[in-house]
Amino acid sequence: MSKPRRFYRDVDGILLLDKPLGLSSNAALQQARAIFAANKAGHAGSLDPLASGLLPICFGQATKVCGRLLDAGKTYLVDVQLGARTESLDLETEIIERAPVPPLTEEGVDTVLAGFMGEQEQIPPMHSALKHQGQRLYELARRGESVERPPRRIHIYRIQRRHFSGDRLEFEVSCSKGTYIRSLAADIAARLGTLGYLAGLRRLFVEPFERFPMQDLQSLESVCKEGGAAALDQLLLPCDVAFDDLDRVSLGDAAMNVLLLGQLAQGESQARNGASLRAYDDTGRFLGLVEGQPDGRVRPVRLFVSTGASGSMVAR
């Protein structure tokens, strides 16, 4: 007997998913997409199966936000085991080396952490998804191979001890795109005079979502059973939340129609030349991103509305 067809629908918005341990980012994405029965979905910034926390899931028009979120700053809660090192710098592989942990004080640990503030270079770990001559570094590492990795520029905006006791250090760090927390943990351990590996990692938030709550898969299932699609959609953030740092411009009906045709449009006030703006119609609906022109009009950069029919159901 063939399986009954499942119907997927058009859904737009951003889900702040609390990804559990042991689940890949793609597996978490597919489970969330199935719960929402969404036609289109993507995630913004992978989390390893050994990490938990915020994984932004973008549905429908919100998938256009993914690139911006990948570039956004992120904040993590990091648990470091001192006195040992694994090949992968985390719990994925076995301990390969041990070293004594020197006597440390909280003040001394804080001084070391403060030394990591600011812009710096970081060498990516071999166990990473970066490519070397067409192969993922982690594939080479699993074969026992090691290659030279050029350093990358990263920025540590904030780093603060949360707990320290003996051979265990927990700290919170806000950092730029491209920061490898496993490498950071090992580098901190080295400056403390010992070895270290990542024993736990939780992403607390991705900018600009610090003030919004996360939703876990179990609670989403419950909401779906009790309230259906309408209740689930109430948990989604609108696309324009990702662009809160940009000024806004409102367009009347005539200007909106011109903009949706891909042409220059006149807003309610003149736009500054070269400025990136959020455009809205006169009902407050978010239309998309525009750029100010020398004559005060705005040019469409990326639209977040469809000119076709919406709400269609597609069998899968």
pLDDT at 312: 41
Q: What are the structure tokens assigned to 280, written together? A: 């809205």
Ranges of each domain in the chain: 7-71+209-240, 74-206, 246-303
pTM of the full structure: 0.89
DSSP annotation string for 121-164: EEPPPSSSS-EETTEEHHHHHHTT-------EEEEEEEEEEEEE
So what's the pLDDT on residue 137?
A: 60
pLDDT of amino acid 45: 83
Distance CA 28, CA 45 (A): 12
- Single out the residue of 55, 48, 49, 84 nearest to residue 180, CA to CA: 48
Name the CATH topology of 7-71+209-240: Pseudouridine synthase (3.30.2350)
- Residue 156 confidence (pLDDT): 98
Q: What pLDDT sits at residue 306?
A: 75
Residues 269-300: pLDDT tens digits? 888 999 999 999 999 999 999 999 999 999 99
pLDDT at 309: 40
CATH 3.30.2350.10 fits 74-206, yes or no: yes
Q: Kindly name the residue from 12, 18, 48, 240 that is annotated as catalytic.
A: 48
Cβ contact 282:268 at 8 Å: no
Do 246-303 and 7-71+209-240 have the same topology in CATH?
A: no
Question: Distance (Å, rounded) from C-alpha 140 to C-alpha 134?
Answer: 11
Give, in degrees to the nearest 5, the angle at Cα 280 between 45 and 244: 40
48 is catalytic: yes
Residues of the chain with pLDDT under 50: 308-316
pLDDT digits (tens, 9 = 90+) for 216-266: 999 999 999 999 999 999 999 999 999 999 999 999 999 999 999 999 999
**The domain 246-303: what is its CATH number?**
2.30.130.10
